[in-house]
Copies of this chain bind each other. A is one copy, B any other.
């Protein structure tokens, strides 16, 4: 932590800052520049961070030097984390293609989607039973009935299930069905929910908040790891910007940025990011090329009858061609399919 003093800070103010740093067991290192004095705080940053340094008289600004996360950091854990989901792995050179409808709408719809996903070579199935919807008047999901249909699809296809948990009160029920628990973009900073899933042993797919920085995403993952669950898959799904040509702006730079800072695997959701079916393939290929460990895409047997996100879903009968293209690029990137 570097504390930059104001140009007119008094010696006493500098001394006061140094003393407060000393009071929590850290060391202060004063460096007098031509215009300003800088106080370096050397020691445990998580302790130093408890001091309200910016509020002290004479302080201009506080510049953090070290990253605020630890357990998710690649520095601490140089090797890629590889996550095993019922025999399907993800990360460390293995690429997962997760596919399925936005929401489970009926047995017929979900089973058709699941079968076609399996046939095309998907690695896991996605599907929502609890749906966070902007409008209270939109379809909110089939809840446990939806989860039961998903379990039936797993039974038939052998593919693991990825499904969203929205409420800490539903942990138990979702655990009964899910192979991977998804935490959605609107819950990335629902800290109680993060702590709750940190206590289970199931892998977590944590979606980036639509206005979260990469650092905040890693801090959210830190909440999960801190409770003991180190099986976290990060997911880039687009951030909110001024551009309206796409629903969100997919931030593919985040993939190599995350790879450099963290050992956790990261997948991309091009369906929600763009909101448009014909953008899903090019951005999926770009995701593979940029270094992602997987994709999570929406497919639907009849997009025009979907209760949710129809316009961004790939028709399941086009999914085999899509998957074949992905496989080509995965090989090109020197990885293998999960």
Q: Is A255 an interface residue (CB 8 A)?
A: yes
In the complex, chain A residues 281-338 whose Cβ is within 8 Å of any chain B Cβ: 282-283, 285-291, 303-307, 309-311, 313, 328-329, 332
Q: Name the distance in Å between A197's Cβ and chain B's nearest Cβ.
A: 13
Closest Cβ neighbor of A131 among chain B residues: B191
Partner of A279, one of B132, B223, B257, B305: B257
Q: Is A133 an interface residue (CB 8 A)?
A: yes
How many copies of this chain sit in the oligomeric assembly?
4
Residues of B within 8 A of A332 (CB): 328-329, 332
Interface size of A by Cβ–Cβ distance < 8 Å?
Answer: 100
Residues of B within 8 A of A241 (CB): 239, 241-242, 249, 251
Residues of B within 8 A of A313 (CB): 55
Q: Name the distance in Å between A70's Cβ and chain B's nearest Cβ.
A: 8
Q: Are A249 and B251 in contact (CB-based, < 8 A)?
A: yes
**Given known A256-B283, A310-B54, contact A2–B211 (CB-CB < 8 A):** no
Closest Cβ neighbor of A259 among chain B residues: B282
5 closest A-B pairs by CB: A52-B310, A211-B211, A55-B310, A54-B311, A289-B289
Chain A interfacial positions (CB closer than 8 Å to B): 2, 4, 7, 29, 31, 33-36, 38, 40, 42-43, 46, 49-50, 52, 54-57, 63, 65-66, 68, 75, 132-139, 166-169, 186-187, 189-192, 195, 209-211, 213-216, 219, 222-223, 226, 239-246, 249-257, 260, 273-274, 277-279, 282-283, 285-291, 303-307, 309-311, 313, 328-329, 332
**Knowing that A190-B190, A253-B274 are A-B contacts, what are 6 other residue pairs whose CB atoms are under 8 Å apart, sorted by A's residue number?**
A46-B137, A132-B189, A166-B192, A240-B240, A256-B282, A329-B332
